[in-house]
Chain A
Amino acid sequence: MSAPLPTPEKTSSPEAREALRAAMVRLAEGDSAALEEIYSATRVKLFGICYRILGDRKEAEDALQDVYVNLWQRADRYDPQRASPISWLATFARNRAIDRLRTGKVRSGAVPVEEAAPLPDETPLADALLVNAERDAQIHKCLNGLDENAQTYIRAAFFEGRTYAQLAETADVPLGTMKSWIRRGLIKLRACLEASEASDEQKGGAA
């Protein structure tokens, strides 16, 4: 159990995704050894997500531990038909980290919003499992079509788990203004994403 973990390999390949999916299914069937496999393939990505939101290494490690222990307990909830395993895990980790941020002692520990605004245009780590390249391109395209304020603060909310009130405080604008920026952005974003889904269906490419 305490043997050194293998270094994650490049896992954005379909093979890696399938291996992860299979490990999740085995975990759901009660094979706790599968958890180690899942951990070694996904820890870097999920820890990155927790760390980004919580802004504190110790808190992020506690959150990460919580993520995998919970995963072990509720792996049967994962529906292999519905979502890619890594997107399910990434959502799961982000939600756990945000829960922690809202209910724990961690108070807005994330990195300042200005640092998040222009996203570092770096290639994601080679060992990061890519969630879904096509949808990734589409959400970026739709986000880029929004007004600058909406873009900036929707990203800040996603990456740092900030609330309306925290964003308004950081931006030094009234709460109503912040809500208005973001809601306007979300309305446009939804229209853009729905349009892309509709055109996917027309092309017969609906999943």
Chain B
Amino acid sequence: MTDTPDQKPENMTPQERERILAAEFSLGLLEGEELLSARGRMTNDPDFAWRRQWWDDWFVPLSDDVRGAEPSSHVWDAISAQLQPQAAPAQADVSNVVLLDMERRVRRWKWTAGAASAAAAVALALFVSTPSAPPISGETPPLMAAAEAPLMASIPVGDTLRLGVTFLPDSDEMLVSAAGFTADGVHDHELWLVPADGSALQSLGVVVPGEERRVTLASEIVSNMGDGVELVLTREPLGGKPEGVDAGPVVAQGAFGAV
């Protein structure tokens, strides 16, 4: 009953591959696109989520072998400073305290005629000063060498969700995985890149709830991509930030890291 044929991974059926994928995900072996896709499936694919849970439950007793350690007392001080007695967990609107500072930072940027036109101005300036640029496409070469390895950001949103953002430098494509997000019918959420040089935020578009979106980025955005570059998510009216008004409140933030 317990004798197991020494099955070779190469001969796995797709079904077996699936089960093993859930184990790989549980252990943390995956990275890059595989990791992103596995994360997305946690909300889209109940069978996969169940498998992952099955492995988690089996692996977790191993953590009894990890030696415990005493954290410094300031950890509790920091945690308790973030507890707001009035706010019940269900209504806790993201981690407001953490975000306040980010929001203040974002306010410092002038939301003039909108980031799109600011980006267009950058592109135009570059076009003018680069006579060799191909005139027809209007595409400009990146301002600086973009990062080579895929970049990934996992942005915690609210108290349960994560927005997965991956940038693939070899194709200038960005994947935004909003699995598990639902539309409230009143707001949209818009994702922004915070250029490291302090220039105006660049819109990465409105997040489509429940979907994985793949877009090719304009070169003026690509040139700002890099390890550690920050992203913010703002709450906007449906359709995204209207022209000529300030962006809505920052509801989440994260940073790209090399995968």
Using a CB–CB cutoff of 8 Å, the interface residues on chain A facing chain B are 1-2, 4-5, 27-28, 30, 32, 35-36, 39, 43-45, 47-49, 51-52, 60-61, 64-65, 68-70, 72-77, 83, 87, 90-91, 94, 98-99, 101-105, 119-120, 122, 124-125, 127-128, 130-133, 135-136, 139-140, 154-155, 157-159, 161-165, 167, 179-180, 182-184, 186-193, 195, 198
Contacts and interface: CB of A to CB of B under 8 A. Distances in A.
Which 7 pairs across A and B sit closest by C-beta, in order of nearness? A136-B61, A30-B88, A183-B9, A73-B159, A44-B68, A48-B68, A125-B68
B153 A64 contact: no
A157 B68 contact: no
Contact of B58 (A73, A83, A105, A193): A193
Nearest to B152: A103
Given A28-B89, A103-B254, A124 B64 contact: yes
Interface stretch (B27-35, B111-119, B120-128, B239-247): B27-35
A86 to B, nearest CB: 9
A76 B257 CA distance: 30
Nearest to B20: A186
Interface of B is mostly: mixed
B68 A87 contact: no
A28 to B, nearest CB: 7
B59 to A, nearest CB: 6
Interface in B136-172: 152-154, 156, 159-160, 162
Interface stretch (B76-84, B195-203, B207-215): B76-84
Given A2-B76, A43-B71, A60-B71, 10 more contacts: A27-B89, A32-B85, A48-B69, A65-B78, A102-B152, A157-B28, A180-B10, A187-B20, A191-B2, A192-B2
B68 A30 contact: no
A160 B123 CA distance: 44
B64 A35 contact: no
Interface string B29-64: 111000100000000000000000000111111111
B235 interface: no
Interface in B83-132: 83-85, 88-90, 92, 95
A60 B68 CA distance: 12
Given A73-B95, A131-B60, A159 B66 contact: yes
Contact of B83 (A5, A72, A180): A72
Given A28-B89, A102-B154, A105-B257, A190 B23 contact: yes
A65 B79 contact: yes
B97 to A, nearest CB: 9
A179 B31 CA distance: 13
A19 B213 CA distance: 44
B59 A158 contact: yes
Contacts, number: 207
B4 interface: yes
Interface in B1-24: 1-2, 4, 6-10, 12, 16, 19-20, 23-24
B190 to A, nearest CB: 21
Contacts of A64: 71, 75
B192 to A, nearest CB: 18
Max chain A Cβ within 10 angstroms of own Cβ: one of B57, B95, B156: B57
Given A44-B68, A102-B154, A186-B20, A83 B57 contact: yes
B31 A195 contact: no
B112 to A, nearest CB: 31
Contacts of B66: 45, 48-49, 52, 124, 159
Contacts of A99: 154, 162
B15 to A, nearest CB: 12
B67 A48 contact: yes
A50 B186 CA distance: 39
B174 to A, nearest CB: 15
B70 interface: yes
